[in-house]
Every structure is written in structure tokens, then in C-alpha cells.
């Protein structure tokens, strides 16, 4: 079950690099890495495949967070509570999957993603400046509520989590796209860590595949984060629209055309 050809591992590492690159800028790396793992690891059970992917994903996300932390100011007092809430509710969401059909969320998520894309496209100056609009107390409260909602969603379903986080930090909190991307990484690390702990505890990780992929994901994340920092919020906004559009097309295909 866990045997894999060298050529397959090379391809998996390439897609892990690409996923890390995209995810470090605007999220959505799972849209690259997960389908690749489904193709190259067809006989691996889905929970084991997801657990192995989390090893790669959390490594790259953590690497990107450290890179952003050196160059972008992160409001740790507000974002850390969001990360803690996301960690807890990601685990709860993962447990809820067995009781509620996650596929029922697809139409709702599709509508939300389309709305996010349209709003971001119309509001040309959205996220161009970092101008927090909430008081410190409200910012912390909203951050916790965001962590609860996004954490549960990521544990329960997942696709588009990074993009939703960035949009929330831009649209609700008034962050620039660059600051929002950096803040989203911290919350993503928390949700990934919660899921990874569950998969590790239940023995559903192939470390000989996950570790090489993690190394490549880190490399991709470093390249992507450095590029985002160098190019600024305008670049991140364009990249955000491209990735959200790709997520929309994938959701539409999976929901109505398969």
C-alpha cells in the first residue's frame, strides 16, 4: 500500500513545491497537492493520503509564516487567539465529518467564492493599504469568531480556507493583502497542526513520502513568500483573484459536471 515508485515521488515533490509556492502567497495549495496525491497514490486510503499531505502542508505553511514574520508586521495579540480557536474547532470539524455529509456544503461554498471574487474585482483599492478599522477589543473578538468558523470549516471540509481567511482579514479587519496573507498563515498553521495531530495519533501518515514532500513544500513556500513580500499587495491581489477563480471552476466542475 505504501510502496511508491521513485518517479512518482519526484512528481509528488514537484507538485508539493508548486503547492507551497501558491499557498504561501494566497492559499489554495491543497488544490494542487491533493489531486496530485490522488493520481500518484491511487491505492492509499483517503485518510492516510490526507494525513501524509498534512505533513507537507504544515511544513510549508510554517516556513512561509516565519518568512513573513521577518518582513511583515503581524498583529500577534489578535491573530494568536484566532489561531487557538481555529486549532480547537478544526479538530471538532474533523470529528463532525462522520455525522454530517460534507458534500452538502459545496453549493454554499461555491456561492461564497463567487461573491468574494466579484467583490474583490470590483473594489480595485481593496487591500492596497494596511488600514485596520477595528478597535483592539473588537479586533480580538472578531479574530476569535473567525478562528471558530474557519477552524471548523477547515477541519470539516477545507478547500478555499486560505482564500477565505485572506478575504476576511482584508474585508473585515482592513488589512492589506500582504498583511492578510501573513496573518492567514498563522491560522492555517493552527488548523493544520490540529489535523496533523489527529492523523499522527491514528497512525495515518506515510512519513517516507510526507517528509520529502515537506522539504519541497518548504522550498516553494520560501520562494512564494519572498516574491509576495518583494512585489507587495497589488501582486498578491492579482494572484488572489487568479487562485479564487481556479477554485470556483474546480468547485463548479466537481459539483455539477462530474
User: Using one digit for the tens of pLDDT, what is the confidence trace for 12-65?
Assistant: 999 999 989 988 888 778 778 888 888 888 888 878 888 899 899 999 999 999
Which among 72, 87, 68, 81 has a CA at the least distance from the CA of 191? 87
pLDDT at 126 over 80: no
Query: Which three three-digit cell numbers place residue 110?
Result: 461555491
Checking if the pLDDT of 150 tops 60, the result is yes
Higher pLDDT, 18 or 104: 18
CA dihedral sign of residues 201, 203, 204, 210:
positive
Does 1 fall in a domain? no
Across the chain, mean pLDDT equals 84
Q: Report if residue 120 sits inside a domain.
A: yes
pLDDT at res. 39: 83
Q: Is 188 within the bounds of a domain?
A: yes
**What average pLDDT does the segment 128-150 reach?**
87
Q: Domain total for the chain? A: 1
Kindly state whether residue 53 falls inside one of the protein's structural domains.
yes
Greater pLDDT, 220 or 157? 220
> Does residue 178 sit within a domain?
yes
CA–CA separation, 167 and 156 (whole Å):
20
pLDDT at position 1 = 43
- The answer, yes or no, to whether residue 211 has pLDDT greater than 70, is yes
The share of the chain scoring above pLDDT 70, in percent, equals 88
Q: Say if residue 239's pLDDT is above 80.
A: yes
Query: Does residue 98 have a pLDDT over 60?
Result: no
Angstrom distance (rounded) from CA 158 to CA 105? 10
Compare 109 and 173 and report the one with higher pLDDT: 173
Mean pLDDT of 185-197: 90
pLDDT band at 101 (very low <50, low <70, confident <90, very high): low
**Predicted local distance difference test score (pLDDT) of residue 103:** 62
Determine the Cα–Cα distance for residues 124 and 113; give it in Å rounded to an integer. Answer: 17
For 112, residues 6+ apart whose C-beta sits below 8 A from its C-beta are 164
Q: Residue 227 above 80 pLDDT?
A: yes
Report yes or no on 166 lying in a domain.
Answer: yes
* Average pLDDT over every residue of 170-186: 90
Residue 102 reports pLDDT greater than 60: no
Sign of CA dihedral 230, 236, 49, 189: positive
Please give the average per-residue pLDDT across 206-224, as a whole number: 95
Q: Which three-class secondary structure string do you get for the chain? A: CCCCCHHHHHHHHHHHHHHHHHHHHHCCCHHHHHHHHHHHCCCCCHHHHHHHHHHHHHHHHHHHHHHHHHHCCCCHHHHHHHHHHHHHHHHHHHHHCCCCCHHHHHHHHHHHHHHHHHHHHHCCCCCCCCCCCCCHHHHHHHHHHHHHHHHHHHHHCCCCHHHHHHHHHHHCCCCCHHHHHHHHHHHHHHHHHHHHHHHHHCCCCCHHHHHHHHHHHHHHHHHHHHHHHHHCHHHHHHHHHHHHHHHHHHHHHHHHHC
Query: Which of the four pLDDT bands, split at 50, 70 and 90, describes residue 161?
Result: confident
Question: What is the rounded average pLDDT of the residues 82-104?
Answer: 79
**Does residue 215 contact residue 10 with C-beta atoms inside 8 Å?**
no
Residue 125 has pLDDT above 70, yes or no: no
pLDDT score of 138: 92
248 belongs to a structural domain: yes
Domain extent for 133: 6-257
Amino acid at each position: 500500500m505504501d510502496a511508491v515508485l521513485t518517479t512518482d515521488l519526484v512528481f509528488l515533490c514537484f507538485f508539493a513545491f508548486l503547492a507551497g509556492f501558491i499557498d504561501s502567497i494566497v492559499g489554495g495549495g491543497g488544490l494542487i497537492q491533493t489531486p496530485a496525491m490522488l493520481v500518484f497514490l491511487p491505492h492509499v486510503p483517503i485518510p492516510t493520503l490526507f494525513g501524509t499531505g498534512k505533513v507537507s502542508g504544515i511544513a510549508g505553511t510554517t516556513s512561509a509564516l516565519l518568512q513573513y514574520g521577518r518582513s511583515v508586521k503581524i498583529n500577534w495579540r489578535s491573530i494568536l487567539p484566532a489561531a487557538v480557536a481555529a486549532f480547537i474547532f478544526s479538530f471538532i470539524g474533523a470529528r463532525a465529518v462522520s455525522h454530517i455529509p460534507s458534500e452538502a456544503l459545496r453549493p454554499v461554498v461555491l456561492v461564497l467564492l463567487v461573491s468574494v471574487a466579484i467583490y474583490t474585482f470590483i473594489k480595485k483599492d481593496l487591500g492596497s493599504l494596511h488600514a485596520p478599522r477595528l478597535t483592539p477589543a473588537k479586533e480580538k473578538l472578531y479574530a476569535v469568531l473567525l478562528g471558530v468558523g474557519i477552524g471548523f470549516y477547515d477541519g470539516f471540509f477545507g478547500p478555499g480556507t486560505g482564500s477565505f481567511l485572506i478575504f476576511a482579514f482584508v474585508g473585515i479587519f482592513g488589512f492589506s493583502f500582504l498583511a492578510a496573507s501573513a496573518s492567514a498563515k498563522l491560522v492555517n498553521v493552527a488548523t493544520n497542526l490540529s489535523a496533523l495531530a489527529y492523523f499522527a495519533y491514528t497512525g495515518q501518515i506515510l512519513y517516507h513520502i510526507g517528509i520529502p514532500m515537506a522539504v519541497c513544500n518548504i522550498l516553494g513556500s520560501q520562494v512564494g513568500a519572498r516574491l509576495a513580500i518583494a512585489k507587495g499587495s497589488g501582486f498578491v491581489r492579482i494572484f488572489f483573484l487568479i487562485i479564487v477563480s481556479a477554485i470556483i471552476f474546480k468547485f463548479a466542475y466537481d459539483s455539477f459536471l462530474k
